[in-house]
C-alpha cells in the first residue's frame, strides 16, 4: 500500500436520531449519530449496557461475518453494522459516535437511504486533522468458495464493479454494476438499494428466531417469480446493494481507498479479509495475496 495524498477529516455538525425495528432482534431501536473529535474514527456505543461499552469500527474488532458484519465480542457487540458504516464512508464522515440501545442498528427498509437523509440534515463540517488517501502498489486478490474480490491500483477515484451470479434458474438474474464512489453518487445511486435474500433463506432465518417483526414488504425477499410483496427500485438493485455492503465493510480499513475493486459473488467474509490485508500492508507488513480453497 502507498499513501497518495491527504484530505481534511469531516464530522457532523450536530446530533441526529433514527429509530426503527431491528431486523435480528425485532426490538425497537434508537440510534443517535453524534459528532466525533478528530482522529477518533467511527465508534459504536452500546448505551443499553452498564457500564456503557464502546466498540471502534476497525477491522481488528470484527468478530463475525456470517450474513452480516459484527464488531465486538458478545454480549458486548453490535451486528449488522455495514449499512451504517457504508453511509458514513459514502458521505465521507470520518469521525462519529454511533449510540445504540440494542445490539444492532434499526433495519429501516434494508437500505441506507434514511441514514443519508438524517446525516445530510445534520450538516457536515471540516476538521483540522487529515485523513490518508491510499492505493495498492499491485493487484490484490482474495478468493474463497468460488467468490473473488480483486483490488487494482488507481489514483484518481474509487470504482467498484460487482457481478451477482446465483447460477442458472435462480430467481435473481445475473447482474453487473460498475459504480464510481463519491458522496453524490453514493446518495443518488447506492443508498436506496435494499438488503435482499432468497425465500428459502428467509424461512431458515425465521426458523432460527430472527426477523420476527420483519415481513417481505420490509426488504427484498426473492421467490421463484421475483420479489415477494415488493418491487425493485432499480433493475440491478441487488448488485447495487452488494456495492453498499462492500463500501461499509471496507471502511474498516480506516483510510480512503483509490483504485478499482472488482467483486464476483463476494460477501462479508471476503470484504473484511481484504480490509484486514490492506490494514496490515499499510502498517508495514508484507502485502500477501490470500487465496483459500
The CA-based angle 273-279-285, given to 5 degrees, is: 105
Q: Of the residues 77, 241, 260, 268, which is catalytic?
A: 268
Which burial class, exposed, middle or buried, applies to 52 when counting CB atoms under 10 A from its CB (0-12, 13-18, 19+)? exposed
Mark whether 260 is an active-site residue.
no
What SS3 state is found at 201?
Answer: helix
Question: How is residue 276 written as a grid cell?
Answer: 484486514
Helix (H), strand (E) at residue 240: helix 237-250
Question: How is residue 240 written as a grid cell?
Answer: 447495487
Q: Give the C-alpha separation, 84 to 140, whole Å.
A: 26
**What residues contact 117, with CB distance under 8 A and at least 6 apart?**
none
Q: Give the C-alpha separation, 98 to 3, whole Å.
A: 28
- What Cα–Cα distance (Å) separates residue 283 from each residue in 1, 63, 75, 278, 280? 9, 21, 30, 9, 5
**What residues contact 39, with CB distance under 8 A and at least 6 apart?**
9, 95, 129
Number of C-beta neighbours around residue 112 at 10 A: 31
Query: Which active-site residues does the annotation give?
Result: 268
Amino acid at each position: 500500500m502507498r499513501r497518495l495524498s491527504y484530505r481534511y477529516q469531516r464530522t457532523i455538525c450536530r446530533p441526529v436520531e433514527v429509530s426503527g425495528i431491528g431486523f435480528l432482534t425485532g426490538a425497537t431501536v434508537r440510534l443517535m449519530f453524534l459528532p466525533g473529535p478528530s482522529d477518533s474514527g467511527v465508534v459504536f456505543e452500546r448505551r443499553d449496557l452498564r457500564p456503557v461499552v464502546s466498540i471502534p469500527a476497525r477491522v481488528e474488532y470484527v468478530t463475525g461475518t456470517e450474513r452480516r458484519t459484527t464488531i465486538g465480542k458478545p454480549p458486548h457487540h453490535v451486528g449488522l453494522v455495514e449499512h451504517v458504516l457504508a453511509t458514513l464512508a459514502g458521505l465521507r464522515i470520518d469521525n462519529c459516535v454511533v449510540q445504540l440501545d440494542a445490539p444492532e442498528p434499526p433495519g429501516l427498509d434494508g437500505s441506507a437511504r434514511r441514514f443519508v437523509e438524517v446525516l445530510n440534515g445534520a450538516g457536515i463540517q471540516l476538521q483540522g486533522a487529515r485523513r490518508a488517501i491510499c492505493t495498492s502498489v499491485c493487484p490484490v486478490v482474495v478468493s474463497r468458495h468460488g467468490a473473488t474480490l480483486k483490488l487494482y491500483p488507481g489514483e484518481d477515484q474509487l470504482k467498484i464493479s460487482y457481478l451477482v451470479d446465483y447460477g442458472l434458474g435462480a430467481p435473481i438474474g445475473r447482474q453487473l454494476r460498475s459504480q464510481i464512489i463519491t458522496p453524490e453518487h453514493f446518495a443518488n445511486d447506492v443508498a436506496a438499494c435494499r438488503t435482499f435474500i432468497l425465500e428459502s433463506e428467509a424461512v431458515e432465518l425465521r426458523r432460527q428466531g430472527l426477523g420476527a417483526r420483519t415481513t417481505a414488504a420490509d426488504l427484498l425477499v426473492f421467490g421463484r417469480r421475483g420479489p415477494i410483496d415488493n418491487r425493485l427500485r432499480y433493475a440491478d438493485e441487488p448488485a447495487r446493494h452488494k456495492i453498499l455492503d462492500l463500501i461499509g465493510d471496507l471502511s474498516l480499513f480506516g483510510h480512503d481507498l483509490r483504485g478499482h475493486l472488482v467483486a464476483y459473488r463476494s460477501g462479508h467474509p471476503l470484504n473484511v479479509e481484504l480490509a484486514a490485508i490492506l490494514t496490515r500492508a499499510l502498517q508495514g507488513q508484507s502485502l500477501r495475496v490470500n487465496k483459500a480453497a
